[in-house]
Amino acid sequence: MPNNRFTASDRLIRLEDLVPCTLAFIDCKIPGSDRKVNYSIIGAGVTQSREQFVNLAEPHGFALGVAAMPNGVTNNLHMHYTAEVFMIYRGEWLFRWGPEGNDGEITGREGDVLSMPTWMFRGFTNVGPDDSWIFTLLGRDNSGGVVWHPSILELAADQGLYLTRDNMMVDTAEGKAKPADAGLIQPLSPADIAAMRRPTPSEMARRVVRFEDLAWSDAPLLDSGLAGHASFVAPVIGAGMTEDRNAVAPISDPHGFMLEYVRLPAGNIIGTYRIAPKQVLIVRQGKLEIQLGDGADATSAVAEPWSTFSVPANTWRTFRSVGDEEALFTLTTAGDARPDIEWSPDIVAAAMAAGVGLDPNGYIAPAHLLPTA
C-alpha cells in the first residue's frame, strides 16, 4: 500500500457518517419540494450550497451523492452537462423528462439503475414510502452545475432564492442582499430549450437497467474458479472490470465511470488485485470486508449495508464476504476504458494451475490456448 498514507477505515463512509443538507438546491423552498434532503458523499457534485458537507472531497473522476425525499416530494426539472445516473437503493420513484416534463415517464424500483442523457430536462418524484433513497452518480469532477427550468427559477425567486453565475445560491430570507441581475444565472430562452434532447419513451426505456434483468456472469474474474473465490458480476454501464469476454453492458455510451453489480457468496473472496483507476463500492446486502494493501502493510474495514467505500488508485485490494448471507454491492470504476487488472502472483499461479489464464486482451481463456511468450 503506497506510503501508508491511509487505513481502510479512512475510506469507509457509513450511513451514520452522512450529513444531511435541506437547502442544497434552489428549489428546496418551493412547496412540494421543500422536504428534500441531499448528501454529498464523494465530491461536492452539483450542490448549490456553500454549507454542503462532503464526506470525501478528493477527486475521483465522478461524484457520488444521495437524494432522500418523503413520499410525494418532487425534484424539479433541471439539466446536467455530464452524466447523471440514479441507483435506487430503496423505494419507488417516478422519473419524467422533456422541456415541460411531459415527454415520458419511467418508474424505478429497488436495485434499478437509470442513466439520464445530458442536455435534457429531467425531474423525479418519490411515489414510494417516506424512507425511499437514491444514490446518484455524476460524471467528472467538475460537472458544470445544474441548469434549472426557467419556471423553477421564477418559483425560487418567490421564496427569496437566487443563483449566482457560479451556480451558488443566495438566500435573501437570511438577510443577504439580492445580487444584481448581471451577477445572476439567466433563464434559458425558449429557443435554447427547444434545441435540447427529446428522447422517445422507447429510447429512455433502453437507459433503464432493471435489477431482475441483470445478466450475471459466473466466471467474471481470473480467480472466480478457484476454491472459495466464486463471485458473480453483472455489467450495467460500460465495460467495467469483468474479465469475461462475453459480458456486455446494457448501457455503453461514455459516462466518465463504469458500473457493475457484484455478488459474493458468504465466506468467499475476491482478491488480491490492483488497477490504476479509483473504485467505489456501495453495499446493499451482507457484510463485506475490504482489505487495502498486502502483507504487513495490510489494513481492513467491514462495510455493511448503506455503506460506501472508496478504494484508492493503484492499491492492492481484497474483498471478502464475512456475513451470514451473500454480499451484494455495486462497483463503480473511474473512466470509460476497461482497466488492466494486476493480480497477485499467488492468484495468477493458482489460476494457471487450474488451467486458466488471461489472453493478451485481458480476458479469461483456457491456459493451453494462450501464447507462451
pLDDT of residue 3: 42
The answer to whether position 2 is within a domain reads: no
Q: How many residues does the chain have?
A: 373
Indicate if 239 and 358 belong to the same structural domain.
Answer: yes
Distance of CA 176 to the CA centre of its chain: 35
The answer to whether position 1 is within a domain reads: no
pLDDT of residue 5: 66
Indicate if 153 and 257 belong to the same structural domain.
Answer: no
pLDDT in tens, 23-45: 999 999 999 999 999 999 999 99
What is the span of the domain harbouring residue 288?
214-369
From 209, 241, 261, give the residue that closes a domain.
209
- Choose the weakest-confidence range: 127-136, 176-185, 284-293: 176-185
pLDDT of residue 6: 75
pLDDT in tens, 83-119: 999 999 999 999 999 999 999 999 999 999 999 999 9
Which whole number is the average pLDDT over 46-68?
Answer: 95
Q: Is the distance from CB of 237 to CB of 113 less than 8 angstroms? A: yes
The answer to whether position 302 is within a domain reads: yes
Question: Which cell numbers hold the place of 334?
Answer: 473511474
pLDDT in tens, 134-169: 999 999 999 999 999 999 999 999 999 999 999 999
**What distance in Å separates the CA atoms of residue 111 and residue 87, rounded to the nearest whole number?**
7
Indicate if 186 and 239 belong to the same structural domain.
Answer: no
pLDDT in tens, 183-232: 999 999 999 999 999 999 999 999 999 999 999 999 999 999 999 999 99
Q: Residue 1: is its pLDDT beyond 80?
A: no
Give the position of cell 498514507: 5
**What distance in Å separates the CA atoms of residue 291 and residue 118, rounded to the nearest whole number?**
36
Which whole number is the average pLDDT over 220-248?
Answer: 97
pLDDT of residue 2: 42
Q: Residue 348: is its pLDDT beyond 50?
A: yes
Distance of CA 171 to the CA centre of its chain: 30
DSSP letter, residue 216: -
pLDDT of residue 372: 85
Indicate if 300 and 254 belong to the same structural domain.
Answer: yes
The answer to whether position 52 is within a domain reads: yes
The answer to whether position 117 is within a domain reads: yes
Indicate if 220 and 273 belong to the same structural domain.
Answer: yes
Q: Is the distance from CB of 314 to CB of 341 less than 8 angstroms? A: no
Indicate if 238 and 143 belong to the same structural domain.
Answer: no
**What distance in Å separates the CA atoms of residue 349 and residue 328, rounded to the nearest whole number?**
28
Indicate if 92 and 128 belong to the same structural domain.
Answer: yes
pTM of the entire structure?
0.94
**What distance in Å separates the CA atoms of residue 241 and residue 337, rounded to the nearest whole number?**
9
Indicate if 330 and 218 belong to the same structural domain.
Answer: yes
Q: Residue 4: is its pLDDT beyond 90?
A: no
SS3 at position 159:
coil
**What distance in Å separates the CA atoms of residue 314 and residue 307, rounded to the nearest whole number?**
22
Indicate if 243 and 305 belong to the same structural domain.
Answer: yes
Specify the CATH number for the domain of residue 228: 2.60.120.10
Indicate if 52 and 185 belong to the same structural domain.
Answer: yes
From 163, 187, 209, give the residue that closes a domain.
209
From 185, 209, 233, give the residue that closes a domain.
209
How many domains, the chain?
2
